[in-house]
Structure 1
Amino acid sequence: MSTDFQSARVALGARLRELRTEAGMDGKGVAAALGWQRSKVSRLETGKQTPTAGDLTAWAQAVGRPDMTGELKGRLVGLETQYRSWRRQLSGGHRARQELALAESAATQTIRGVEVSRIPGLFQTAEYARNAFETNAEFRQIPRDIEDAVRTRIRRQEALYEPGRRFRFLLWEGALYILTCPRDVMAAQLDRLAGLIGLDTIELGIIPFGAQLRRPPTHGFWIYDQRLVIVETINTEMWLDDEENIALYGRAWEWLNEAAVHGPQARRLIGRARATLDLS
């Protein structure tokens, strides 16, 4: 978890504790008033748990300071602007997040991306995307709006054919071999990937096994022009729009690009992975 995020969450927890003590209440009293476990009060005050907007409203009421609700929620919004939990983003299914991705792509001229374990969503076939959404829905135990999500993802790919747009992606070779779907689906996906090489809007680089790297591809990220970086973790999606982080991720992309192969060499690596899928 980001140190900046954790520091902000600890600060929010300290503010909750301050309001409680100003009201002359102890943790046990607040827990009783709210019908919570005492441990939840402790986790919120020590910054070990992120409160919901409802938690903050209830807290302000319990300590007799409903006028502080706006301030507390403002602090929470500040956290969520950069650090957006998947639990909240996907509470109604995948479609809403896919619509947001569609809007961000439409507002961007150049997207640079790195993926280390999967095919980028912009390049996915419908079947590969369908498998990805189904698995994620099962893992996160969220509503299964699979077909709506697939349609939105495929609609987003229309941007690949718009003149003047640029999509510069780097893919670690290992992602060509990771099977999170049936072999025939992966085979079709690799065929699709190879077919995109040569399109004038797309620059696809493969980082080969054994390449000399200045730093390893530790995780995936996407850079939207020079205004936004999106990074996914298992429980959170980070939206970073400050100059320092944009420059940092831009440098990471450039360093990885130094080791990538493109054009016919990239197509050969994709073909080699495709050949390992025995469909007979």
Structure 2
Amino acid sequence: MSTDYQQAREALGIRLRELRLSAPGGRLTGTQLASRLSWPHSKVYKLEGGRQTATADDLRAWADAVGRPDVFPELDARLKGFESHIRSWRRQLAAGHRPVQDSWNLEVSRSTVIHAWEESVIPGMLQTADYARAVFLRYADLYGTVRDTEEAVRTRILRQQWLHEGGHTLRALVWEAALHALICSPAVLAAQLDRLAGLIGMDTVELGVVPLGASLKIPAANGFWVLDDRLVIAEDWHAEIWLDDADSVATYLKVWSTLRDSAVYGPDAQNVISRAQRAVRPQR
């Protein structure tokens, strides 16, 4: 959990405690408030101590129980403010992958230049439909979520229209390991590599590949995307992290530039892709 996220959760907890102690009808103990809410008293103290994330329903109930329903909009705004940065996969995928792809499409449509780094998969905007389908199914299995796979695939492929519009540039870096990862069948990976090779030289795509044998100035960590100079979207196993403060954007762009120093482009990138193609289609 990020420090910023935890600090925001603790700040919300302090505000909840203030409301309990200054209730219009008189100061409430944690036990009294828990009784009003029919909650275990431990929940009150976990929320106040920043050890549990409140839901909007929790906050509305708290505001009503302390006699301050008028403060719910403030509490809800605080919650949305820090939850917008840490987007739990389990919460996001409760309705399937399609809504997540819709959110991405909206942000991409607002962007002019996108910097991407992927260390284990082909970047979504460069995926074939079959490759995207395999990825969505793997994650649906992992999280036990709704299988709206075909809708998600169509929405991801729709996002690729951005590459065919003038004035846009995708600066994508991929670690060579992603070219060999059989997250899908060998046949699907072979077709995906063919597509990747065909993108080299496209005027809206700058594709760099970091060879496995390249000297790295920093470790190859989780994938991330930087949309213009306004938003970073990074992925971890538990959540997708959205960061829009200037310092974070600058840090991720610096990471991207550092990784780029290890990448190859043009014919050299084509050679790395060809090596992966030969591996997935061994000579008979």
TM-score range, shorter chain: over 0.9
Counterparts of 2:41 and 2:271, CA distance in 1:
59
* Structure 1 residues 135 and 67: CA distance shift in structure 2, 3 A: same
Pair 1:8-2:11 in alignment: no
- What CA distance in whole angstroms lies between the structure 2 residues aligned with 1:30 and 1:87? 30
The residue number in structure 2 matching 1:147 is 150
* RMSD of aligned alpha carbons: 1.8
* CA-to-aligned-CA distance 1:189-213 (integer Å, 9 cap, x gap): 1221112111111111111113122
SS at 1:163 equivalent: coil
Alignment pair present for 1:101 and 2:108: no
d(CA) in 2 for partners of 1:9, 1:120: 32
Q: Stretches of 4+ moved more than 6 A in 1?
A: none
2:3 aligned partner, one-letter code: T
2:242 pairs with 1:239: yes
State the partner residue of 2:114. Answer: 111
Q: TM-score, normalization: structure 1?
A: 0.93
Match of 2:62 in 1: 59
CA shift, 1:276, in A, is: 2.2
* CA shift in 2, pair 1:70/1:188, >3 Å: same
1:210 partnered with 2:213? yes
Aligned residue number for residue 17 of structure 2? 17
Q: In 1, Cα distance between the equivalents of 2:209 and 2:157?
A: 23
Number of aligned residues: 280
Query: For 2:170, what is the secondary structure of its paired residue?
Result: strand
Other-structure match for 1:30: 33
The residue identity in structure 1 corresponding to 2:10 is V
Change in CA separation of 1:163 and 1:57 when aligned onto 2, cut-off 3 Å: same
Indicate the percent of aligned positions where both proteins have the same amino acid: 52
Q: Distance in 2 between matches of 1:32 and 1:52?
A: 19
Deviation at 1:140, TM superposition (A): 2.1
Q: Which runs of 5+ in 2 are unaligned?
A: none
User: 1-side partners of 2:143 and 2:42: how far apart?
Assistant: 24
Letter aligned with residue 6 of structure 2: Q
On the 8 A contact 2:190/2:281 being kept in 1, the answer is: no
The match for 1:276 among 268, 274, 279 is 279
SS in 2 for 1:25: coil
CA distance in 1, matches of 2:203, 2:172: 13
Displacement of 1:108 in angstroms is 1.1
Change (3 A) 1:30 1:142: farther
Cα deviation 1:201-252 (Å, max 9, x = unaligned): 1111111113122212212111111221111222222222222122111111
- 1:278 offset after TM fit, Å? 5.2
Q: What is the TM-score with the length of structure 2 in the denominator?
A: 0.92
Contact 2:180 2:280 in 1 (8 A): no
| Aligned counterpart for 1:196 among listed residues 196, 199, 207 | 199
Gaps of 5+ in 1: none
